[in-house]
Structure formats: structure tokens, C-alpha cells
Structure 1
């Protein structure tokens, strides 16, 4: 809960000190004056300002305050310059009192600085009183420890939800937005429901405010859905990254992996046994077999130490085979590049066709839209009729010998969309083929480098004039040893990646369990109860306040989409007179608080209405509005800034029980000489 206990405004001028110092009570409080220029709104602005809610008035900082705070004070016929001004406000949350201090004009103190005294106002100067400086309306003021609104949220016992933003991120629901449903200021607040709500980038802000104030569970459900959607994306992205790492490493060592789970799923225990590593040779040996063959070959090379003179013919023969192999691989690379070029040409042609299809789809949809709207321009064309001969337009230049039925615009759009899907599928296939060709080219180039180095070693052996150990055998042993090491590291790497997939599989299982636990319907039974309660209270208030812009209040509903009042699915304001628009604002603001009280929602049970008798409201309706506030008694605090300029208004207030309200009457000016 929030209750204002006392408001003290001090304004230093060149004629001394002026100010305002009044206490407020639980229940109904009037700030009343005989006309509109006495400073009621300036006093109420002080409440907004101390709470850091001046954005509801229309801006930030002291600039939104009236001239009395920052420029001049009028005292009779005299005008005095404001030298300094500051605002103190004591508030109560049902357990503790604090006093908030914020300067409006002060040379050595910026307006974004807020001091919180952990005591009532009378004791702020005691040496034992703790105080803390905080900042407001700055970055992170709603979340950081030294942010005033983060502190205020905690002090009021609120737990503001994280909600989607217009830039597809998430942020905390700001207090300023919440209080725009509770503080109705004079200049902009009476235009519509939440009309003074500042824009802070929260998506569907009005909806979020209502669902939080009355405590709908949808806000938790939607957040859970958003969290699960994010979790789903994260798991799938991680899964994709693991597969990408496997494919990259496999290509590096010229291997392939068979039996990989390509999509996130619940994997059976021991699924690794179904995954096989294959060496990308013509024989497609399993890697474990291929490693064994390499080790056997290495042993055979290590078993003998032949001299060059002993195997000269063999070396020449091997060199010849190596050269042939290199030439074959060069021819293979040329063929790969040729096929690569063909794929590029195919993709280019397909993309051109796809672009044309997309253009045709747009043109056909535009034509359909104009036709459906009843356009008279080119009306026969839009109806698939020739404007000259008035026959059905054919999509072919050939004679209609077989009397085929040609497609309408609607059928043409369906056909074009089917073609679009076919071309997109074909383009993706060619792109995949390009990737495969590129991988094959890289493997071939790597193999050529190895074979070239082997050929060089063989030539060195042939040209050697002494009886050294064969350089080719040494090179082979080195290459085999390196390949064995690479493949064994590769096997270890794949095992690690498969373990990651198993962990992601466990996460996926937990994700699916949480999805199953989500409510199948948007609203819970409690939600329906709260929305029905809001609708019932709203209609009851409308009836009490004599709302008459529709013939039956039974047509009024609270939209299940926006949580705002509608009549036959249209916004109520479109059919409301100016005075009934005011009655609707009274009714909805009150209904939100009434519903929260009844259903244990999150409303702070405080309302401010500055000049609620707008547009010449009938006095009996104003009295009904005041009576509905009084009915809540100690359950809330409501502050009404009201002008008592006629006898009818004065009689409405004088006929109230004096125990049911507190009157703060401003006879001439709110800020008086102290």
C-alpha cells in the first residue's frame, strides 16, 4: 500500500520563505480552492515529483513544475523571484514511514537526486536518523540498488514483472506506467484511460498495467511461455552449433559422421553406439579400422631401413604413381570448379525466377485487395474479364482449343505461392550442393599438398648420391604418424561433442516437461474470476455515475484481449460523450482498485484525481463518485483536487459526514509566506 502522510514544500524567494505544509489522512482527502488559479495542481505536482512520477505530467525534472517552484511567487500584487525550492513528502507502506526529499531548484543539487530519510518528517534532522541518497529517472534507476524506483518498488511491497518491449527485448514494468492508472492529472489525464501514460517502450503497456494491478496469472503464464520460447531457441542453437563443430572438424580430417541426430530430441541412453565415424575415402572405412590400418602400415615401414640403392626401381615406380595421382586430383579439382560454376549459374537463374514470382505475388495480392474493396478502377480486369471483349481473361496466347478453365486471381496467388516454395526448395538444394563441392575441393587440395610433398621426397631419394636412409620412407612415417594423431584427437573431439548432445537432450526433455505443464487455456479460473469482478465493478460504477451514452450497460464488457472496456468489441470512448468519457475514467480507475482489494491484487490502494468534475459534470454524479470513494473507508487513500466555485459543489461536500474526509482548503494561494 501507499499512503501520503504529509507534504511540505519550501520555496525561498527574495522576500523570504513561502511554502505549503499539510497532513493527509487515510480515506478521502480534498485539496480544495475557490478557483482554478490557487495552486492545487502545483501541490499535487509536488506529490508526483517526490515520487519521481513527473513523466505522467508530461516531462522529466523540475521543468514540468509550475513557475512557483522555479521562477517567481505571486503575493497579492507583488512578484518575488524564486531562489531555491524543495519538496519533502512523508509516505507510509502499512508498516514503515519514510520521508522523501527532492530539490526542484537548487544550484548545488540536481533534480535527479533523491534523499530518503528512514523516519517521519518531524525526525529527519535527528542525529540517529538514517538517510540514503539515490537517483531517479536515470538509466538503471528501476533496477539498481541506488535507483530510487528500485527502492520504492521494494518499499511498497511490489514485485514488478519483466515484460516484452517494442524492440523485442524484455524490461521491468516501470512504476511510472503503473501509476498512470492511479494518478489522473488535470491537463492530459482526462482525455482517455491512461492518457497521461508516458511512452517507455513497453509493448502493450495498458494491458500489462491492468493484468498486474488486478493480479492476473496470465502475466506469469506469458512470461513462462516467453522463457520457454527463448529456452527452445537456445537449445536448438546450441544443438546446431555442436553439429556445425562436428562437421567442421570432420571436413578438416576428411571424415564423415553417420547417424547424427540432426534436430533437438530426447536421445536414448547409449545413442553414441549408433553414431559412426567414416574416413572419407573410396572404401568408406570406419575411422577406428582406418587408424588400425595406418598403425599397421607404420609398423611395416619401421620394420625395415632400406637403402636408396636397394629399391631405386620401386622409388621410380612410386614417384610415377604419385604424379599420376596428383594429376588425377587436379582434373578432379577442375571438374569440381566446373560443377561449382554450374551451381552458381543455376542459383542465379532460379533466383531471378523467384524474384519475378515474388513480384507477381505482390501484384496479384494488390489486385485482389482492390477487387475485394470494391474498386471501380479497372474493375473488369480485377474480375478477370477483358475490358474490350468482356470475355474471361486467359493466361495463354494459344487458342483455347480444349476449353481449359484458367485460374482466377485467387487461384493464381495459390499457384504462385506453390511455385515460390518449389523454387526456394530448389535454390536451397543447389546451395547445399555448393557446400558439398567446396568441402570436396578443400579435401582434394589438402591431399594434393601431401602428395606433392611425397613426390618431392621421392625425387630427392632418386637424385641422392650416397646411401642415406630413404627420405620418402621418413616422410611417409611422419605423415602417417601425424594422421594417426589427428584422427585420434578427432575421435576424442567427437566423443566430447556427443556428450554435449546428450546434455542438450536432457535439457530438451526438461523443456518439454515444462511445456506440458503450461496451462492449455490463456486464462485460469482465477483469471476469469478477476476479469468478471473487474467488469462487474466497472459496470456498477458506470450505473452509479449515470453513464448514459449507450442504451444498455449490459453491452459493456472487459475485453479478453486488451483488458479495457469495450462495447460490441469497439473502444467505449468512440461512443461516449465528453462528460461520459469522464465518468468512464472515474469508473475504471475505481474498478481497478476495487477489484484489487477484493481479489488481493497488486494495487497500492491510492488514487489521485485532479479536477474530476470536468466538462460540467452533474453534481449528483459527482456526489455518487465521492460516495463510492467513501464506501472504501480505510481500505484506500484518495486525493481529490477540486474547485469549489459554485454553491452546488459546496453543498455536495458540506452534506458529507465530516468524519468521512479530510479537507485541505486553499483560500487564496497554496504557497503562503511562512
Structure 2
């Protein structure tokens, strides 16, 4: 990306004011005193890109009052009636557009950006204009959004990354710009300061990974895809499992499905999955049970076909038999209800025990952390010794003086974890018992209804002296209905089992793909890129005359992607002084690292920021790396904290020496002509020299 030109238009009653500058394709220095408006020009560039959040705030709130309220000209206040920013930009394939964005305008919102197709500022050419919006819902996702357009224009394809809430969030362009544009007030306080987080985990790390072109996003995207697929498979399995047992509960018999787990698995032997019916105290197959029902139906048919002259005695006997059956069923129903209540009570108690055990586990783990931290700090209490009276303090769950075996915190944690596992297994078992009891209750209810119906028919038979028993016919009807239900369930079971097979196979493929992914966060290619990044950073640190630590001891930590000092560990040396302990901190060789920022002077830390941002660009554009840096750096007052002229010259020399990099630097050079000359002598750059104020009359 190349920024070609910028123009500020301010309309007032006294005439037209503003500024207009064009920029070099390599290094441009905007020079002026501390109150001349360098930052105004710099912030106007960010505003035209819709990146004013890097300065602080959105829309006009981020800009100085001179662009929206009033400014001083020849000792008089001039009030702003209307103002706008125009910025001409060229992308990597040579397309040129001009962005026009209002600052103060009664007719136009600052959330609206006009995109002029062509070099409107440098050549006065514009063939077509379109309007885009920003800082509103969808501005970075919909085609009408300005940041969606800008992302496409600059050739970016921003990834989705993990958000703080676990959902996938887009890595917005504003976060990326924080690594290429550093404003003056807070920009030099961190390696990538003022970066908007947007609820993104480790957003700075994600930006560096993107600009370095690491494979981590593709791997993360694939992992996320596989995770989402696994969740979808699990959900589909649960839905099918619930559908299966809804059908089971609709039957009038005790049905169990053997060999089918509650949770989806990739190692299920479906040849062992079967449906069984509890009949006369034994488990038989569904086919066998249907055959028994057909035999019972035929037996009833034979009873109906036998000629009878007087069936009153048989009917009375049947009445007695069905009455006894009804009593038995009512007793079973009451027993099933009682058992169900007991199991539900057990489940409720189990859940309470799980909550209590979990709370105790959290408490013990917290105590263990405090104990470990105390040990690191050398606290007496961590060694089971009272810091006041120096008496022994038991690391125990029981009161002092009790003659019983005691458990320390670690043992108790292990005990509680095993208890939780046991309670959760019990919970699964109780849920199965509850489901079986609910089926028993439902089946017994249906059986009671059927028996009552048969009893009613038998009583009518006795009263009417009917030769052809209504009760036998009604029993046949019930059997027919049950056979139809069981056959429909058999067909459905076959369909659902096919669904289960497909889900199990999908999970197997998912797990195989997951296993083939790299076990570490970065691939081998990423490791080579990060090694190059470390070398570039270390070389830059040496060029900028860093003094706070030996350059050879500086390295990039692959977890945080920040500079650290290697072989340095913060240790604590303790000396007994009149019964107390004296803590003395010093550095000693070890495995852990210290953030180099904490051990650098203010000016040296700024040198580290220069080195870091330049190393990102240098690595991204290296011949062996195919990455995503836009090829531009914007620095506002990089010479912070009385920076040595030698270091500033090294920075400008590095910026001007790379023909692929456009850099725009706003600097005052301590308002010193000698400092400016020494910093830039014999370097190739374009100078924009501001007068007393950047805003002038056109």
C-alpha cells in the first residue's frame, strides 16, 4: 500500500483553509515544532482510513478541536463550518482510489466514506464514486461496509480467531493497523500499543502471526472446523438417541437397547446392538415377542370360534382372572412410582454431592496455589510454620489433636477428583434406572387401562348373556395395536441405527484428521519464520544502539512473541536477620525468562519498539516468506525520551534504505536544526516542512 496524498478542507466565513501534502513512495518526514500540527496531519491519515480508534475514540471525538470547532489564524479565532479529509491510496496491484470522509458537516455523517475511483488529489481524476459506512454493525463484514472494502482493496483476507467468549471473532483491520501506525501520546508505551481488543484472545499475538504469514490460522481454522463438526455429531447423536427412546416409551412393554452407548463413539460394534423385550422375567428379541403376540391372537380367535351355549361361567371366571390382574398391575404401578421417587431423590442427592465435592476441590486447588506461591516467595506458612510464633501448622483437613489419619492438600485433591468421577458414574447409572422406571410406570398405566376396558366388556357380557365375548374381541384389538406399534418401531429402529452408524463413522474420520494435525502450535515452516523474525529483531536492536542488556542475550519467546532475556531467572536469596528473613532479588542463570521491557531504560524500550515493528515488516517481506504486511509504517515522534541523534539517524537510514517500504514519520527533532541535519544527512527522503501551523489559507 502507498499513501500518495492527503488534503484537509475547512470551510469558514473567512474563506477556505486546510492543508494539502503529497508523500514519497519511500520515506517522507513531516517536520515541525511541537505545536505546529504534525500530529494533526498524522491523525488525519488515520481518520481517513477509519482507524481513529488507535488515537482514542471514534469519529470526530478522536480529532483535535482545530479540525471541527475552531483554529487560530493570524492571532484570531476562526470557527469551522464544514470540514473533510481526502486521502489518495494505491494498492499493491496499482489501483488508485481516494477516500473522502466528513469531519463536520450538517449534511454528511462521519460514518459515511465516499470512495472516489482514481487519483483525485494528485491528478484530479475520478471516474466513479461509491459510498461505504463504518463504525456500525457489519462495517467489517458486509459489502457496504468501508472496512470490508478496505480489506479487499489492500489484499487482506482477515481470519476468524477465538474470542473471549469462545466464539469465533474476526481479526479486524483496526487491530492490524496498530502494528503499522504508532501515534505519539500512547503509541510508544508497548510493542503494539493502543490495539483494539474487540473481545479477541491474545489479539497482539494474532496480529503478529497474521503479518508474519504463519500457518497457525489455517491450522486453527481446521481445528475449529473439526471441533464444530464434533459438536454437531454429538448433538445429532443426542437428538437421535432421544428420538429412539421417545419411541421406546410409547410402547406398552419393557424395551431395552443393548450395545448402544449414550455418547457417540467411533469404536462401536453395531453387530452387537440389539433390541430386547422383557417378557415373563426373560429377555427375548423383538421378533420373538411379536411372534408370541401373534400366537396369543390366534388362541383368542380359536376361543371366539368355539360354539358356546352358555358362557356365563367362563365369563365370571374371566372376570375373576382380570380382576386379579388389575390388582397386580395396580400394585406394580404403585411400586414403580415409589421406586421412581427413590431414584429421583438419589439423583438429587448425587447432584448436591457433586456440587459440594466440586466446591471443595476448587477450594483445595486454590489453597495449593497459594501454598506454591508462598513457597516461591519463601513464606514461613508454606512450610507449615506459623510466621508469628514459629509453631508447626498442620497441612490437614482435620482439627489439631485428633488421633486420626490426616490428608494433606494434594492427597485431598486426588481423593476429591476420584470422588467426583465416582459420583458422575453413579449419576449416569441413576439416570438409566430412572428411564427404566419411567417406562415401567408408563407401560403399567397402559396395561391397567387395557385390563379395565376388558373388565368392562366382561361385565357387559355377564349382564347380557352374550355368547360371543366382547372381552375376547377387545383383547384381539389391543394385540393388533401392539403388533402395529412394535413393527413400526422395528422399522424406525433400523433407520435410526443407520444414522448412528453414519455419525460414528464421521466421528472416526474427524478423529483421524485431528490426529494428523501438528501437536505443537506452530508448524516447522512457522518455526523457520519465527527464527528469522528473531534474527531480524536482534540485528535491529544492535543497529539502534541498545545498551540495557547484551544483544546476544535477547530472543523472541514463541508463546508471547515478545522479546525476552535468555538465561535469566529472578531468584530470591534469603539471609537470617534476627529471626526474620531478608529477601534480596538478583538475576541468576536459569530456564525462565524476563520480559526485556522491564529491564530497559525508557529510550531503550522505544528502540525495542522500533526494532520489533521493523522486524515484523522485514520478516514479512523476506524472499523466503510469503506474508501479509501492507508495506507501510507510520511513526509520530519516534524520538521519544531524549533519544540519541545517533539512534534516530539509524532509524531513518533503515527506513529510507528499503525501496519496498513506504514510511511517513512526523518529528520535531527537538526543534533543532543541527539535530535534524545530523539525523538525515545524505539520506534520500521527502521533507514536508510545516510552518507555524499546519492549517493555512488556501
Matches within 5 A, 1:74-113: 74-94=72-92, 95-113=94-112
Structure 2 residue corresponding to 1:630, chosen from 656, 666, 683: 656
CA distance in 1, matches of 2:519, 2:358: 38
Deviation at 1:106, TM superposition (A): 0.8
Structure 2 residue corresponding to 1:206, chosen from 196, 204, 208: 204
Deviation at 1:529, TM superposition (A): 1.3
Structure 1 residue corresponding to 2:637, chosen from 611, 614, 619: 611
1:585 matched to 2:585? The reply is no
1:621 matched to 2:647? The reply is yes
Deviation at 1:78, TM superposition (A): 1.0
CA distance in 2, matches of 1:311, 1:277: 40
Deviation at 1:288, TM superposition (A): 2.0
Deviation at 1:371, TM superposition (A): 4.8
Q: Which moved more, 1:10-19 or 1:416-425?
A: 416-425
- The residue aligned with 1:523 is 522
Deviation at 1:357, TM superposition (A): 4.9
Deviation at 1:130, TM superposition (A): 2.0
Residues 363 and 192 (structure 1), Cα distance of their counterparts in 2 relative to 1, 3 Å cut: closer
Structure 1 residue corresponding to 2:664, chosen from 633, 639, 647: 639
Partner SS for 1:445:
helix
Contact 2:645 2:678 in 1 (8 A): yes
- The residue aligned with 2:10 is 11
- The residue aligned with 1:672 is 696
CA distance in 2, matches of 1:411, 1:288: 54
- The residue aligned with 1:257 is 257
Contact 1:85 1:106 in 2 (8 A): yes
Residues 359 and 129 (structure 1), Cα distance of their counterparts in 2 relative to 1, 3 Å cut: closer
CA distance in 2, matches of 1:540, 1:68: 42
Deviation at 1:123, TM superposition (A): 9.2
- The residue aligned with 2:22 is 23
Partner SS for 1:327:
helix
CA distance in 2, matches of 1:193, 1:14: 44
RMSD, aligned α-carbons: 3.0
Partner SS for 1:142:
coil
CA distance in 1, matches of 2:528, 2:690: 43
Q: Which moved more, 1:21-30 or 1:338-347?
A: 338-347
Q: Which moved more, 1:471-480 or 1:56-65?
A: 471-480
Deviation at 1:213, TM superposition (A): 0.3
Deviations 1:629-663 (A, max 9, x none): 11212x01100011141123321355134xx2111
Partner SS for 1:193:
coil
Residues 299 and 267 (structure 1), Cα distance of their counterparts in 2 relative to 1, 3 Å cut: farther
CA distance in 2, matches of 1:171, 1:399: 56
* Structure 1 residues without counterparts, runs of 5 or longer: none
CA distance in 2, matches of 1:392, 1:38: 67
- The residue aligned with 1:450 is 450
Deviation at 1:526, TM superposition (A): 1.5
* Structure 2 residues without counterparts, runs of 5 or longer: 567-592
Q: Which moved more, 1:302-311 or 1:283-292?
A: 302-311
Greater RCO between the two (CA within 8 Å, min separation 6)?
Answer: 1
Residues 392 and 76 (structure 1), Cα distance of their counterparts in 2 relative to 1, 3 Å cut: closer
- The residue aligned with 1:324 is 324
Deviation at 1:154, TM superposition (A): 1.0
- The residue aligned with 1:43 is 41
Residues 396 and 505 (structure 1), Cα distance of their counterparts in 2 relative to 1, 3 Å cut: same
TM-score (norm 1): 0.90
Deviation at 1:454, TM superposition (A): 2.2
CA distance in 1, matches of 2:523, 2:309: 91
Deviation at 1:439, TM superposition (A): 2.6
Contact 2:30 2:665 in 1 (8 A): yes
- The residue aligned with 1:164 is 162
What count of residue pairs does the alignment treat as equivalent?
659
Deviation at 1:472, TM superposition (A): 2.0
Residues 378 and 620 (structure 1), Cα distance of their counterparts in 2 relative to 1, 3 Å cut: closer
Deviation at 1:612, TM superposition (A): 0.8
Matches within 5 A, 1:64-83: 64-83=62-81
Residues 536 and 378 (structure 1), Cα distance of their counterparts in 2 relative to 1, 3 Å cut: closer
Deviation at 1:615, TM superposition (A): 0.8
Deviation at 1:470, TM superposition (A): 3.4
Deviations 1:164-203 (A, max 9, x none): 0011100211000001011001111011111111231111
Contact 2:113 2:146 in 1 (8 A): yes
Structure 1 residue corresponding to 2:132, chosen from 127, 131, 134: 134
Partner SS for 2:217:
helix
- The residue aligned with 2:235 is 237
CA distance in 2, matches of 1:296, 1:508: 44
Residues 311 and 526 (structure 1), Cα distance of their counterparts in 2 relative to 1, 3 Å cut: same
Contact 1:117 1:124 in 2 (8 A): no
- The residue aligned with 2:433 is 433
